Structure 1
Amino acid sequence: MPGASSRCGRQRSLGTRAGTGQVMKLVDFVTTRPGRPMPGSLYAEEARSTEREREPLRAEVTCEVAIVGAGFTGLSTALHLAQMGVDCVVLEANEPGWGASGRNGGQINPGLKHGPDEVAARFGPWAVRFSQDAPDRVFELVESHQIACDIRRGGTLRAATDDIHMAQLRDLAGQMGRHGLPCELLSAEDMAHATGTPSYAGGLFDPKGGQINPLKYARGLAAAVRAQGVAIWSNSPVVKADEQGGHWTLTAGEGRVRARKVLFATNGYTDGLVPRLRRSVIPVFSSILASAPLPEEMAARLLAGGQSLFEVGPVTTYYRVDASLRLIFGGRGRMGDANGPGAFPSLASYAERLWPGIGQVGWEYGWNGRVALTQDHYPHVHRYGETGFACVGFNGRGVAMATAMGRELAAMLVAGDTHDPVFPTSPIKTIPFQPFWPAGVTPALAWARFKERIGGAT
């Protein structure tokens, strides 16, 4: 989700390379530059922005709530605030949906990374229902605001690549049953029939899930927000945020916003504007390839029911077939911005293993973006100053969860301490050595992939 600063490509000296005496530098990826166009992608081709969507702030405005970031979190919160009669504005460094909201795999997945038993033990049964029903919030907004975004409820498939992961899915199915959540265990034969590949030991089907063109959805949310009379200022990175006496002054673009309350909704693109918040998440790049439209025969045996699929394991691969019969195939990739159908050879190679000959169809688009991971794999809501809030860390489940959290955050901003939140506010805790994340994630992913290959991953 979009960043808030104008600094880009800065490098920081972080020590010397062992045995060489050379200064080791890591590119500071967690910054954005205002006015950057949407990176080339299938979504950007299908959902082009308008001049209005790129209009910057050029004045001084006053409001009740200022929201920093026009991704799903910020836009959903703004929409719900406006419907509650709250005067708010949205500030965006680039344009709505520029970050992870407009670049993700388009999967509307229910639930959290943790199973229902653990979620209930930590946050109560309401949190289980909230996260499981999060896709409903997406479908409701799309229907009520008539957003054209290729949405389809075909369910979510969790795919087990081996017997160890299948055992985990059996345990998860048991938990879901105890909490009254619908699901269906699938055999290896069932999965082969659903996916067109014999690669899976089994799976778990959740009918709540679905798929969507995420950038079309983000653009549609922005239009719905504007229809409520809310201003969204694009190309307006917030470079300064001051709180005095319970009031905020945000310097952004060529203007300023004065607000009683602020929500920082910048997620994986959180930058130096809020340093501690930035160091509380690990931004990890997720990469996606989009094929040419599949031949009818191939499309008929590859998720023909409109399901979205993700593999269970430490390094997930996920895919779906979109409304144009293109295979949208994603997973963790290189730790840096990359673009083009040839940018992710490991993804293309893995797809070829699943479906020999898929490469002959042709990959036409490739892009990536950052998702924000938290140490405990839960979304984090923080108080920032006296009247500031922040929400980050959807851990790859942002389409549904960020949308659902918008209503929750709106209630929190209006009611304050009288609101009983699903995820209580917590102090911001920084992650040790977080500035070194580009250097640490790559070997960690390589090690996880190695363990996957030898069958030892859990």
Structure 2
Amino acid sequence: MPAPFSDPIWRKSQAASTFQSLFPSGERADVVVVGGGIMGLSTGLHAARLGLSVQVLEAGEIGQGASGLNGGQVIPGLKYDPEWLLAHFGPERGETLVDFAASTADSVFELIRGEKLAVPFVRNGWIQAAHTEVALKAAANRDRQWRARGADVRLLSATEIRAMTGAQGYLGGWLDRRAGVIDPLAYTSELARIAAAAGAKIAERQKVVRLKGSAGVWRISTEDGVQLQAKAVVLATNAYTDGLVPGLAETIVPLHSFQIATARLPPDFSATILPEGQAVSDSRRILVYYRKSADGRLVLGGRGRMALPTSTSDWAHLERALRRLYPMLSEIAIEKRWFGRVAMTPDHLPHIHEPEQGLLAVVGCQGRGVGLMTALGGRIAGYLQSGDARQLPFPLSTIQPIPFHAFRQVGVAATIAWYRLLDALER
């Protein structure tokens, strides 16, 4: 259920489907996917189109989790640039990862266009805005690496970034024209629709509580008593991962990403604030990200408190960031406040685990889940069909719980508070 004080801007259309399709008792599926977000639905779609029989089980409603609550920024790449990936993973795997990372936004926009999905989108790029000289040098390094690979990117001067964002306080930045923005709830809903049309069975409000593998068969039990069998299981719960697979939840740190949306901007403001519709992320330690919605609001997000919000004051830090960037909007009402959950791994990379034969788990979007999980779903489906690990861009890794995980969130909360103070001093 939606949490108190959470009122997202993204709304399901009245025509959006509900899903209650289950395999008949005793019939074995090729794949059961646990989690009906972007990762799970992309896997289900591609697996069904490869001829596999698929069941997707979603604990809540489609789009209720982070897939339908995020900021809708579709950004290619990973947290790391090509040279780091090559050095860390070696020439062969590194090149595979660089090519994969470069393609993730394409996978989203090609799907929207090719399938004629009812998803509002703008593909005019993503701006990484630099507020210090150090950040500007990092942007120049990133630009050099991607430009050498033919990416449609360029550096922005202070004048250019002011014209493209309308915001104050940036020394320059970096524009990646491969990126764009979408309505994430519409996208997740449409992914479910076409996955079902491809033959995947999807059931909402079916929380999986037990997995047991034996003799090449997985038995899946839900809270409501549904019993299913499958040759393979894909756990696609990411930041909502619980104890279903021992140790998996302890490999990630779930964080809350809070967002606000203004009232619709007056025409004179709308003409100067993100006039070309780019997405923006800044270079602060606790970054903020923002964009315009299809109906003309400014949507701004960033890290929030670790606990669930208890009042609208829990979004106050975002309202301050909005006023810092756009002082002219101080009188514009904040009409929507909401939050979602994201999963971070200690090395800031996605992880693919296969703790037992036929059991796959994927965690760690690092805030780039729309493109990353769309693209990764197709690769996971290919691996399920062929058994060829070369289908996977990331190497399979063992589950390694974070030491003292129970105390990790306390440490993260303290770090966020410290970084927010440092960011305030850099005004």
Q: TM-score range by the shorter chain?
A: over 0.9
1:58 and 1:411 map into 2 onto residues whose CA distance is: 22
In the superposition, relative to structure 1, how do residues 437 and 383 fare at CA in structure 2: closer, same or farther (>3 Å)? same
Structure-1 residue corresponding to 2:237: 266
Counterpart in the other structure of 1:277: 248
* 1:43–1:215 Cα contact (<8 Å) kept: no
User: How far apart are residue 435 of structure 1 and its match?
Assistant: 2.2
Contact 2:257–2:303, Cα closer than 8 Å, also in 1: yes
Q: Deviations over 1:30-72 (max 9, x none)?
A: xxxxxx358853345354685723x385963520010000011
CA–CA separation in structure 1 for the residues paired with 2:3 and 2:28: 29
Q: CA deviation at 1:271?
A: 0.6
Deviation at 1:417, TM superposition (A): 3.7
Paired AA for residue 66 in structure 1: V
1:344 maps to 2:344: no
User: Does residue 334 in structure 1 map to residue 305 in structure 2?
Assistant: yes
Q: Does the 8 Å contact 1:241/1:273 carry over to 2?
A: yes
Consecutive unaligned residues of structure 1, counting only runs of 5 or more, are 1-35
2:421 and 2:14 map into 1 onto residues whose CA distance is: 40
The residue aligned with 1:27 is none
Match of 2:30 in 1: 64
Whether the 8 Å contact between 1:266 and 1:392 is mirrored in structure 2 is yes
Is 1:127–2:97 an aligned residue pair? Answer: yes
Name the TM-score, length of structure 2 as normaliser.
0.94
State the Cα deviation string for residues 105-140 of structure 1 (Å, max 9, x = none): 110011111111112332322211211111110012
- Structure 2 counterpart of 1:298, which letter? F
* Distance change >3 Å, CA 296–CA 331, structure 1 → 2: same
Q: What RMSD over aligned residues (CA atoms) do the two structures have, in Å?
A: 2.0
Which residue does the alignment assign to 1:152?
A: 122
CA distance in 2, matches of 1:275, 1:328: 37
Q: How does 1:232-271 map to 2 (within 5 A)?
A: 232-252=202-222, 253-271=224-242
1:97 pairs with 60, 63, 68, which one? 63
Match among 151, 167, 172 for residue 197 of structure 1: 167
Displacement after TM superposition at 1:443 (Å): 1.1
Contact 1:211/1:307 (8 A) holds in 2: yes
Q: Select which of 396, 406, 409 maps to 2:377.
A: 406
Q: Does the residue aligned with 1:360 lie in a helix, a strand or coil?
A: coil
Q: Which residue of 1 aligns with 2:186?
A: 216
Q: 1:84 to 1:378 in 2, by over 3 A?
A: same
Equivalent position SS for 2:275: coil
Structure 2: which amino acid aligns with 1:267?
Answer: N
- Residue 187 of structure 2 aligns to which amino acid in structure 1? Y
- Structure 2 match to 1:75: 41
How far apart are 1:418 and its partner, in Å?
5.4
Partner of 2:407: 436
Matches of 1:418 and 1:129 in 2, distance apart?
17
Note the alpha carbon deviations across 1:354-398, whole angstroms, 9 max, x for none: 111413111111011111111111111110211111111010000
Measured in 1, the distance between the counterparts of 2:151 and 2:133 equals 23
Q: 2:398 is matched with which residue?
A: 427
Paired position in structure 1 for 2:18: 52
Does 1:138 find its partner at 2:108? Answer: yes
Looking at structure 1, the residues matched to 312 and 71 of structure 2 have their Cα atoms a distance apart, in angstroms, of 15
1:287 to 2:252 alignment: no
Note closer, same or farther for the CA distance 1:387–1:156 as it changes in structure 2 (3 Å cut): same
Distance 1:420 1:150, change over 3 A: closer
* Structure 2: runs of 5 or more not aligned: none
Q: 1:339 to 1:319 in 2, by over 3 A?
A: farther
Aligned residue runs from structure 1 range 356-375, under 5 A: 356-375=327-346
Q: Is the CA contact 1:74–1:406 (under 8 Å) kept in the aligned structure 2?
A: yes
Aligned to 1:45, the other structure's residue is in SS state coil
- Partner of residue 358, structure 2: 387
Going from structure 1 to structure 2, the CA distance change for 1:397 and 1:309 (only over 3 Å counts) comes to: same
Alpha-carbon displacement from aligned partner over 1:255-278 (angstroms, at most 9, x marks no partner): 111000010001000011123111
- 1:24 corresponds to: none
Return the offset for 1:182.
2.3
Distance 1:189 1:450, change over 3 A: same
Q: Percent identity?
A: 36
Q: Which secondary structure does the structure 1 equivalent of 2:400 belong to?
A: coil
CA distance in 2: counterparts of 1:271 and 1:83, whole angstroms:
29
Normalization by structure 1: what TM-score? 0.87
Q: Which residue of 1 aligns with 2:150?
A: 180
Q: Distance in 1 between matches of 2:150 and 2:283?
A: 22
In the aligned structure 2, how far is the partner of 1:113 from the partner of 1:394?
10
State whether residues 304 and 314 of structure 2, in contact with CA within 8 Å, keep that contact through their aligned partners in structure 1.
no
- Residues 116-125 or 98-107, more deviating: 116-125
Deviation of 1:237 (Å)? 0.4
Partners of 1:104 and 1:45 lie apart in 2 by: 12
Q: Provide the rounded CA distance (Å) in 2 between the counterparts of 1:418 and 1:112.
A: 20
Instruction: State how many pairs are aligned.
Output: 420
Letter in 2 for 1:319: Y
Tell me the amino acid that sits aligned with residue 208 of structure 2.
Answer: V
- Deviation, 1:421, is 2.2
Equivalent residue letter for 1:164 = V
**Aligned partners of 2:308 and 2:197: how far apart in 1?**
34
